Amino acid sequence: MSQRNIVVEFIGVPGAGKSTIAAALAAALSSKYDVAQPAFIFPQGPISLMQKLRLDVTYAPNFLMYRIRRLLYDFRRSGPGIWTASNAWEQSRYPIFLAEKLARAPKEIYVLDEWLMHRVIGESIARYNSDLSFSTKFAIPTFRTHRLAYVCVRVDTGVAVQRVLGEDQPFRKFAKSKDPALVDSVLSSWNRQIEQLRSEIERRKLPCIDVDGSTSIEGNVATLVEWIVKINASGNEFQHRGK
């Protein structure tokens, strides 16, 4: 694959507007590039042991050390145990699922409306009380065939809380009680991890742009299309501070 292949990952708290902007961006980019926006990066049902073994063997050279470090991290946070070992090992396979998609259906641009570690952060906060190092250590895996570019969708916490409370999404277990104080607390913890990740992205000099999730979708998409066109036209990765 050429240097033109890019994975655009959206990061931000629940309720920031990531999915809405990402869908509009993928549609806009499709007139210029071969674009994919997978509805789900991760399997929605169980996969067989043989499938898991095939994935693990195929992608072990790139991800084995990542997975072992993840397992040891979870042990340090919650203590050794069968559940911790099984859960940590399963979740550390997430980047492999994406690597498989990139290999089997190569596109010029992949738009991920759910950040690769999105669900993991939610559980990490709830189960492990993970510190800010979680984002630094595990949220930016390496893909040799694709460059990573990030869109950070920022929004006022109060706006995000109201959006989450108004949505019926079962996977957001923290919002089931419809308790505004609890949702606010989780989003605040989540946002601290996002900010840590944002700093790590900058440190690694990966392309990243900020957009305001409470403003015009059309305006945000126009800004992002221009930004991605520049990345594609450039032989080097660069950074740009958005709104």
Q: What are the structural domains of the chain?
A: 6-44+106-233 (3.40.50.300)
Residue 241 pLDDT: 38
Residue 159 pLDDT: 94
CA 129/CA 218 separation, integer angstroms: 37
Task: Note the pTM of the prediction, 2 decimals.
Answer: 0.84
Residue 87 pLDDT: 80
Can you give the chain as a three-state secondary structure string? CCCCCEEEEEECCCCCCHHHHHHHHHHHHCCCCCEECCCCCCCCCCCCHHHHHHHHHHHHHHHHHHHHHHHHHHHHHHCCCHHHHHHHHHHCCHHHHHHHHHHHCCCCEEEECCCCCHHHHHHHHHHHCCCCHHHHHHCCCCCCCCEEEEEEEECCHHHHHHHHHHCCCCCCHHHCCCCHHHHHHHHHHHHHHHHHHHHHHHHCCCCEEEEECCCCHHHHHHHHHHHHHHHHHCCCCCCCCCC
CA 47/CA 157 separation, integer angstroms: 37
Helices 157-166 and 180-203: crossing angle in degrees, nearest 10, is 120
Residue 227 pLDDT: 96
Residue 189 pLDDT: 84
Are 63 and 95 a contacting pair, CB within 8 Å? yes
pLDDT tens digits in sequence order for the chain, 243 residues long = 345 589 999 999 889 999 999 999 999 999 989 998 876 666 667 788 999 999 999 988 888 998 998 889 888 887 888 888 888 888 888 888 888 888 888 888 999 987 665 555 566 666 555 666 777 788 887 777 788 999 999 999 999 999 999 988 776 778 888 999 989 988 888 888 888 889 989 999 999 999 999 999 999 999 999 999 998 887 544 344 343
Residue 121 pLDDT: 59
Angle value at C-alpha 102, between 96 and 105, nearest 5 degrees: 130
